[in-house]
Amino acid sequence: MRRPTGRQTLTTPPRFPMANYVFEPVPAPSLPINGTDRLFPVHRVYCVGRNYAAHAIEMGHDPDREDPFFFAKHPGNLLVGADFPYPAETSDVHHEIEMVVALGSGGTNIAVDNANDCIFGYAVGLDMTRRDLQAQAKKAGRPWDLGKAFEHSAPCSAVVPAAEIGHPDAGEVLLKVNGVVRQQGDLNQLIWKVPEMIAYLSRYFELQRGDLIFSGTPAGVGPVQRGDRLEGSVAGVGSLELSVI
């Protein structure tokens, strides 16, 4: 059997022949590209917290501009489809409607002025959150993974290329539950703008093509129940419809 050898760098993970794996790797998650049969292969999923002042206030925090903070979901947490299964071990699942930034290239120490060059496109996502578990973690000073990074916790629309829509920095961010408006904001209210988020993240991580960044949610987060119908949209980007099952 051929042994994999050769130089390995962070930016180019080694490719091994399929026969070297002890079992078949789980397929890499991907998102459809709007209006095509092509796919956006996902590498990592970064999420920014408290990026709209009104949401920071509703969660009990000072909306002053502090450094952005991030948490992660797993690429395997993405949900492409119309049904969101109510997750286990919670009785308080919240919706968070967000614009999602999809990177086509990455790097480290990216300048704010160059950040948009890394963006392949945009999508509409929901940062579904087991709020009860997140609250317990916050109280205990523990990581948020149980509250944030669970199966199907990142429903996401198709990616719309920036080549088609440009780089939206204003436009309504809306979520309706059963036809009633629950969340309403505007991209122009983002505390940390998209290029600033990319620049900041790239100081701490090596960003890669295929990375997604959930950009934060406006005020109005709240619980969903089985049977609820969620309709989210970001003006100029697209929409996302979901049933809680």
Minimal distance in Å, beta carbon 129 to Mn ion? 7
For Mn ion, the closer CB: 15 or 65? 65
Least Å distance between CB 192 and Mn ion?
Answer: 13
The C-alpha atoms of residue 167 and residue 164 are separated, in whole angstroms, by 9
Which residue has the CB atom at the shortest distance from Mn ion? 127
48 or 207: CB nearest Mn ion: 48
- Write down the least CB distance from residue 48 to Mn ion, Å: 7
Computed on alpha carbons and rounded to an integer, the radius of gyration of the chain in Å comes to: 18
Please identify, using beta-carbon distances, which residue of 94 and 120 lies nearer to Mn ion: 94
Give the side-chain half-sphere CA count within 13 A for 14.
11
Please, what is the minimum distance in Å from the beta carbon of residue 168 to Mn ion?
A: 18
Q: Which phi and psi angles does 228 have, rounded to 5°?
A: -70, 150
Residues at the site binding Mn ion, with contacts judged by CB under 5 A: 96, 127, 217
Q: Residue 59: CB partners within 8 Å, gap ≥ 6?
A: 50, 221
CB of 215 to Mn ion, least distance (A): 9
Contact of 215 with 51, CB cutoff 8 Å: yes
Indicate the residue among 96 and 211 with the shorter CB distance to Mn ion.
96
Tokens of 123: 């999508």
Provide the minimum distance between the beta carbon of 21 and Mn ion in the complex, in angstroms, as a whole number.
Answer: 34
* Nearest CB to Mn ion, comparing residues 33 and 173: 173
Is 46 or 120 the residue whose CB approaches Mn ion more closely? 46
CA-based nearest residue to 35, from 155, 118, 157, 124:
157
- The helix/strand/coil state of 63 is coil
Are residues 188 and 88 in contact, defined by beta-carbon separation less than 8 angstroms? no
Q: How many residues does the chain have?
A: 245
- Three-state DSSP at 43 gives coil
